[in-house]
Amino acid sequence: MRVTWRPLQLDYSTWSSSTTLVGHAEAAFAGVHSTESTDTLIVDPSLVISPSGRPPSCRGQAPSHGAPTRPVSIADVLLATPSVSVCIPVYNGETYLGETIRSVLDQTYGDFELVVLDNGSTDNSGQIARSFGDRRMRIERNSSVMDLVPNWNRLISLCRSPLIKLVCADDLLHPRCLELQVAPMEADPGLALVASRRHMIDEHSRIIVPRRGLGGLVGVHSGVEVARRVVRNGANPIGEPGNVLFRRDDFAAAGGWRSDLPPVMDLDLWMRLLQYGEFLGLSETLAAFRIGRNTLSAADEGEIYQAQRALTKELGDSALFQVRGIDLAVGRMLAPVGRFRRRTLYALSRKAAKRAAAAAA
């Protein structure tokens, strides 16, 4: 069974997507009825950051009504800044890239740009990205292969919008992901981060673990509350970039992705972004994170465990997040549990892959 999104706790019509993707797998989304719960333009981020790190234009300042207006020109339309930048870093990701791009282009929320950064791929990744021919897309390519962290930082610098979502080249978005995450960010300038739950899927887009994440973090929470929950969790209760939306200016003010803790660079960034505002956790499942036999996460589980411990210590030492002794004690006790959960996910994915190979033989 491929990914079938659990119905959202909202009233909306049936959606479906069954487009065949560039000769690869068909789209993973099947229709559901929601009746129950669950052109290259490069902008330097430093040019749009106020001394406070939060430009008024992105933090709810009312527009000036005294300034003269002028007719909207064609140039205005062409250079108009979309509300959201969705960005995909890819390196030799031809297997899933088409499926990932389609999940972005199928969003019900239309005011976005999609930036794909090809990190010197030697496969057909670039050709697959260009084949969509969608005016909302920009395809960039590094002249040489860059390390993970500088590549992701460059990708964010290519984005034009005040809101950012990074989607790995093998992950998926629910069609209403942007719609449901952008609305609260635009309505409340005090929010720094919005996250949803996500499915964990295997190499064939089949669900391994449904509706994962955000234990104790649904609703609005301060940075202090989130830090204490993260420390106690012993893992990453917020999730990966695909199920998170953040503000570009906060990203720049926080210093971007860090290179010293790459295994937990996502969780580390989420915590640093929470210096600038509050956290909103959505109970809906709006993304899917793929775990395969050869993914970085599966290969480096031991490094993830050690990096998680180092990040927990940093949070415990931070005066800003006010982590208590009891939080640290619980975190030390549960850290092996988080490691066990990760190992279980990778084992489930390997088992599913073997079953699929056997069935195809």
Q: What percent of the chain has pLDDT over 90?
A: 59
**Residues 152 and 257 sit within 8 Å (Cβ to Cβ):** yes
Token code pair at residue 228: 């204490």
- The CA-based angle 19-39-251, given to 5 degrees, is 85
Domains with residue ranges and CATH for the chain: 80-360 (3.90.550.10)
What is the per-residue pLDDT across 318-344, written as a single tens digit (0 to 9) for each? 999 999 999 988 888 877 776 666 666
Mean pLDDT of the chain: 79
Q: Which pLDDT score is estimated for 302?
A: 74
* Spatial CA neighbour of 185 closest among 160, 167, 163, 165: 163
Q: Is 263 exposed, middle or buried (0-12, 13-18, 19+ CB in 10 A)?
A: buried
Q: Which helix H or strand E contains 86, and what residues bound it?
A: strand 84-90
**Residues making up the chain, counted from first to last:** 361
pLDDT over 80 (residue 259): yes
Mean pLDDT, residues 43-54: 30
**Residues 303 and 221 sit within 8 Å (Cβ to Cβ):** no
Residues 6+ positions from 104 with CB-CB distance below 8 Å: 86, 88, 112, 114, 167, 173
Q: Which residue has the tokens 């993707």?
A: 21
Q: What is the pTM of this model?
A: 0.77
pLDDT over 50 (residue 345): yes
Please count the CA atoms within 13 angstroms of the CA of 143 that sit on its side-chain side: 0
What is the per-residue pLDDT across 296-306, written as a single tens digit (0 to 9) for each? 444 466 788 78
Q: Which pLDDT score is estimated for 183?
A: 97
Q: Name the E strands within 187-290.
A: 191-201, 207-212, 219-221, 244-247, 278-290
**With b meaning 16 or more CB within 10 Å and e meaning fewer, what string describes 268-302?**
bbbbbbbebbbbbbbebbbbbbbbbeebebbeeee
Q: What percent of the chain has pLDDT over 70?
A: 69
Token code pair at residue 140: 């960039």
Crossing angle of helices 301-317 and 223-233, in 10° steps, is 140
Token code pair at residue 99: 């499926």
- Helix and strand element counts for the chain (H, E): 11, 10
The amino acid occupying position 249 is D
pLDDT over 80 (residue 125): yes
Residues 6+ positions from 197 with CB-CB distance below 8 Å: 38, 211, 212, 213, 214, 239, 243, 282, 283, 284, 285, 286
Q: How confident is the model at residue 48 (pLDDT cuts 50, 70, 90)?
A: very low
Least confident of 52-56, 123-127, 198-202, 264-268: 52-56
How far CA 200 is from CA of 70, 78, 223, 337, in Å, comes to: 49, 38, 26, 18
Q: Which pLDDT score is estimated for 354?
A: 67
Q: How confident is the model at residue 360 (pLDDT cuts 50, 70, 90)?
A: low
pLDDT over 60 (residue 58): no
Q: Residue 287: what are its φ and ψ, rounded to 5°? A: -155, 165
Q: Which pLDDT score is estimated for 220?
A: 98
Q: How confident is the model at residue 64 (pLDDT cuts 50, 70, 90)?
A: very low
What is the per-residue pLDDT across 215-233, written as a single tens digit (0 to 9) for each? 999 999 999 999 999 999 8
Alpha helix (H) ranges present in the chain? 74-79, 97-105, 125-131, 148-157, 177-187, 223-233, 248-254, 265-273, 296-299, 301-317, 325-360
Cα–Cα distance measured from residue 166 to residue 116, given in angstroms and rounded to the nearest whole number = 10
**Ramachandran assignment for 23, one of left (phi > 0), alpha (psi -120 to 50 degrees), beta (any other):** left
pLDDT over 80 (residue 28): no
pLDDT over 70 (residue 69): no
